Amino acid sequence: MVPQVAFERNVFTLNQNKFMNRKSIRSLRLLAFCSLHFFAYEGLWAQSSTQFDIVLTGGRVIDPETNLDAIRNVGITNGRVIQVTTEPIKGKETVNVSGLVVSPGFIDLHIHGIGNVEQEYQAHDGVTTALELEWGLTHLKEWYAFRESTALINYGASVSWSHARTIALDNQHDSCGDLKTKEAWSKVNWQTSEIFAQPSFYKALPPSSFPWLFTNMRNELEAGGIGIGVPIGYHPGATREEIFEVNKFAHERKAPIFMHVREGGALAVQQAIADASLTRASLHLVHLNSMALSEIKLCIEMVDAAQRQGLDITSEMYPYTAASTAIQSALFDPGWQSKFGISYNDLQWVLTGERLTEATFLKYRKAGGMVVMHMMKPEWIETGMKSHSLMIASDGMPYSKLTHPRTAGTFSRVLGKYVRQDKVLSLPDAIRKMSLMPAQRVQEMAPLMRLKGRIQVGTDADIVIFNPDTVIDKATFEKGLEFSEGIEYVLINGTFVIKNKKTVPNVFPGKAVYGKYKR
């Protein structure tokens, strides 16, 4: 007997998410894609009397794509959701989740901590997929191989424009060639990649070297890169011509750009949108809150206007009033105080938690390292939270006990502070901004993401189960990283990595998310 399946799980509401402004044909293709999975899995269940691997009973299931928000039982087998129903179902393992919310796992498009230490904090924050898309990574083939079968949660990265241009500047000499082995990747992190490339940030790439730049980026796309990371704000030497040509290349390859804009607030955002508009490139603006600062309302209006014109332009934010970056970066070249509206005491040294003075600033800038920048107002963050078009992404940093708390608490903070306490947005809206919207942002480039960010028959069982009355971030600027509260269970591809609020030992169910050009 085939179990009854609610119609609401199989109907997609066309164009219900304005931020993507997809044509109807794309929505119909996605409907057909998931319908095939639906019939396949219903048929599988009809032919078998085997119990589900896992059954979640009595939870408030929220699926942002079908607008399901109701008490349901969820059956999971072989890493996929097989049934969402009001009927009683049996499993080899049954978990009563009454009183809890059953949500698609959160998808973080912007992380820099790429190891399991960071991934454990991310999992305790409800994150099931974490992607390094702003900066990207180099030697992606080797990095993906290094992470295979060792990751707690799903992982992926974009092409590093920064590294591709560094090689082109140096007559195709790859100063990071030792990363061509899995063993080498085990010894480095994102901060290492940033520091070695820094001398090239101030150099202009001559047009005669553009073909090498495009060849390097094309090779990394074929290694699985999910678009192109373009942190132009750290590269004062990059010319307007180079960035315009990168936009043209991205459009030709149908690869999204993930951009940290130049300095200049709304003017820089406007410039990035203009380049994308003229070339028809797909553009995602990272951490709009720390780029726009007091002009965030205007910048949101520009992004929304671009979407109304049918342009594939999106953005994101994190729910904290402080940023974080490397003190030796171009962001702290002379004039940074007036640019950000802050001074030395607004900088916090990550290694010790101390606030800086002019003397310690000069000392640490020479040595290099990470700082937290206290530079935003709560009302600016609230403005971004109210926007229907901004996604949530953490910009989570490599592990350090006193690193920015967004590394561990971004998504729980949205749920605890901005949904429950401040009532700035509804719970379904928050879940949409943290799961479906980021999945849709990258699914054209990374087809696997069509099966994530949703709880429907045939989708991947990437699920977070949390208590809406207690969920909150616990990491702080003063005391450092701590697991979030209220995240009760997390499944990655149908395997528990968090159970009863505790990390499940020795499980590594995270899978690679590749771009569509992978060979």
Q: Are 50 and 468 in contact (CB under 8 A)?
A: no
Q: What is the mean pLDDT of residues 387-413?
A: 97
Q: What's the pLDDT band for 196 if we cut at 50, 70, 90?
A: low
Q: What share of the chain in percent tops pLDDT 90? A: 84
If you average pLDDT over every residue of the chain, what do you get? 90
* pLDDT at residue 168 is higher than 80: yes
What tokens appear for 123 in the block? 């999992």
pLDDT (tens digit per residue) in 60-98? 999 999 999 999 999 999 999 999 999 999 999 999 999
pLDDT of residue 178: 73
Dmax (CA) of the chain: 75
pLDDT of residue 198: 77
Q: What's the pLDDT band for 357 if we cut at 50, 70, 90?
A: very high
> Which of 20-29, 56-65, 282-291, 487-496 has the lowest average pLDDT?
20-29
pLDDT of residue 184: 75
* pLDDT at residue 289 is higher than 70: yes
User: Any idea what DSSP says for residue 472?
Assistant: B
Q: What is the mean pLDDT of residues 289-309?
A: 97
Cβ atoms within 10 Å, residue 505:
6
Three-state secondary structure of 55-68: EEEEEEEEECCCCE
pLDDT of residue 172: 82
pLDDT of residue 1: 30
Q: What is the mean pLDDT of residues 139-160?
A: 96
pLDDT of residue 347: 97
Pairing type for strands 106-108 and 347-349 reads unpaired
**The amino acid at 202:** Y
What tokens appear for 60 in the block? 């408030």
User: Cα–Cα distance between 162 and 11 in angstroms, integer?
Assistant: 42
Alpha helices of 222-377 — where are they, by DSSP H?
A: 240-253, 266-279, 288-292, 296-308, 336-340, 358-367
The backbone torsions φ and ψ at residue 374, rounded to the nearest 5 degrees and listed phi first, read -85, 100
Where in 8-97 does DSSP place strands (E)?
Answer: 52-63, 68-77, 80-85, 91-96
User: Cα–Cα distance between 154 and 114 in angstroms, integer?
Assistant: 11
Q: In what order do the strands lie in the sheet with 322-326?
A: 322-326, 370-374, 347-349
pTM, full prediction: 0.91
Q: Which candidate, 274, 284, 242, 228, places its Cα nearest to that of 20?
A: 284
Q: What is the mean pLDDT of residues 146-158?
A: 96
* pLDDT at residue 384 is higher than 80: yes
pLDDT of residue 191: 56
**The amino acid at 35:** S
| Cα–Cα separations (whole angstroms), residue 123 to 482, 497, 505 | 12, 8, 13
pLDDT (tens digit per residue) in 37-67? 544 444 444 434 558 999 999 999 999 999 9
Q: Are 312 and 256 in contact (CB under 8 A)?
A: yes
Angle (nearest 5°) at CA 272 between 314 and 449: 30
Q: Which candidate, 419, 454, 452, 459, places its Cα nearest to that of 64?
A: 454
Residues in Cβ contact with 222 at an 8 Å cutoff, skipping those fewer than 6 apart: 517, 518, 519
- Point out which residues pair with 316 in neighbouring strands: 391
Which segment, 19-28, 120-129, 136-145, 364-373, is predicted with the most confidence on average? 120-129
Cβ atoms within 10 Å, residue 23:
12
